[in-house]
Amino acid sequence: MAEPTQIVFSYKEVVECLVRKQDIHEGIWGLSVKFAISAANVGPTKEELRPAAIIPLMEIGLQKMEEENNLSVDAAKVNPAPIRKGSSPRAKVKG
């Protein structure tokens, strides 16, 4: 069987991985990207130059969002906080 040469992720899958990596357990978080722009003259030869825009991707990150959409996830659903021993909701109170 051939080895894959490309693996593609949805926006939600990327956000889910970043939420887990940052150990975030609450709130709605979405994908954030930052682009820059610059220009250059490019072409196949010196006589066939054309002005062109260069738009590099500078950052990929997370940002808080108000509601879930195709770019966001609820951290409580995709990365629930671990349950600590001794913090049972049924713990008896001494009185």
CB 31 within 8 A of CB 14: yes
pLDDT of residue 83: 87
Per-residue model confidence as pLDDT tens digits over 51-84 = 999 999 999 999 999 999 999 999 999 999 998 8
> Domain spans of the chain?
11-31+58-78
CA dihedral sign of residues 11, 60, 34, 53 = negative
> Model-level pTM?
0.75
pLDDT of residue 56: 97
Strands 38-42 and 50-54: antiparallel
Residue 88 has pLDDT above 70, yes or no: no
Per-residue model confidence as pLDDT tens digits over 20-56 = 999 999 999 999 999 999 999 999 999 999 999 999 9
Q: Side-chain half-sphere of 53: how many Cα atoms within 13 Å?
A: 6
CB 74 within 8 A of CB 25: no
CA 68 to mean position of chain CA atoms: 13
What is the b/e burial string over 26-38, where b = at least 16 CB atoms within 10 angstroms of the residue's CB?
A: eebbbbeeeeeee
